[in-house]
Amino acid sequence: METYTLAGGLMVPVLGYGTYKATLENGEEPVLAAIKAGYRYVDTASFYQNEEAVGAALRQSGLPRTAYQVATKVWKTEMGYENALAACDRSLKKLGLDFVDVYLIHWPRGDLSDPHWQETVQDTWRAMEQLKKQGKVRAIGVSNFLPHHLQVLNGMEKPDVDQIECHPGYWQPQTVDYCRKQGILVQAWSPLARGRVNGHPLLTSLSQRYGVTVPQLCLRFLLEEGIMPLPKTTHAARLEENMGALTFTLQKEDVQQIEQITPCGWSGEHPDRERVYGDGLMSPPLT
């Protein structure tokens, strides 16, 4: 599989496997299926409460530690210097690992009412830098950070990664462009919009013309943008289907058409406000 090279030098696959809610019914089986299908980058988080299952699957896979990469995240309630150091140790213990490849701050604002959230982010980031020096993490980054959140880290070590909701209809071009200019790799959570864009007429038309599925088209669009998708599925056939996004390319004019899709498929999650509940098709705020 092709790779992206992070600012700090770590090479990561262009496609990873997301595990949010993936282990609820069948434990480590979906992760083992993903590994069997060829995924070598597994994304989890302390909030997902599945680090034990992810670690067990990786041990059962028989792969040497050098053959796969693991990312996890520090949750809102674990932010702050000492809290983040302790959170990483807990995650390593649950995963059964000596180090994780990528460690992220899950959300920029642990408490939306906290007027000092910037200082909390900076304290947490100092812990991330320390964990990297200690060899407990190989690369550090953030999740759900928009440009004004990223600017809080100016003067500190640059994040390697920013993981955001990203898919056709909500690909957050302003944040993506900011990260490109800063040399920060964008990872996409919910890259398939949890199926909410499957019936979109343009995506349907293009998928038929290329002879691929709409999910494959969505993933390929992100890859064409230089974004690393982290699709999640518990079905072996869909794991294979998603891998098919690596087997074709899109013409530039088709990428541009997808970029212009009217906002749709948004989850309602936003780092600066409470979740917006709805059908997922409302126009999101500009980010």
Burial class (CB in 10 A: 0-12, 13-18, 19+), 42: buried
Classified as helix, coil or strand, 50 is coil
Query: Measured between alpha carbons, how far is 23 from 87 in angstroms, rounded to an integer?
Result: 21
Query: Measured between alpha carbons, how far is 143 from 1 in angstroms, rounded to an integer?
Result: 24
Q: 279 with 193: CB under 8 angstroms?
A: no
Order the strands of the 137-143 sheet from edge to edge: 17-18, 41-43, 69-74, 100-105, 137-143, 161-165, 185-189, 228-229
- Annotated catalytic residue 277: no
Which residue in the list 48, 103, 170, 178 is annotated as catalytic? 48
Burial class (CB in 10 A: 0-12, 13-18, 19+), 64: exposed
Query: Measured between alpha carbons, how far is 23 from 237 in angstroms, rounded to an integer?
Result: 17
Query: Measured between alpha carbons, how far is 164 from 172 in angstroms, rounded to an integer?
Result: 8
Q: Could you please report the per-residue DSSP string of 253-287?
A: HHHHHHHTPPS----S-BTTBPPPPS-S-SPPPP-
Catalytic positions? 48
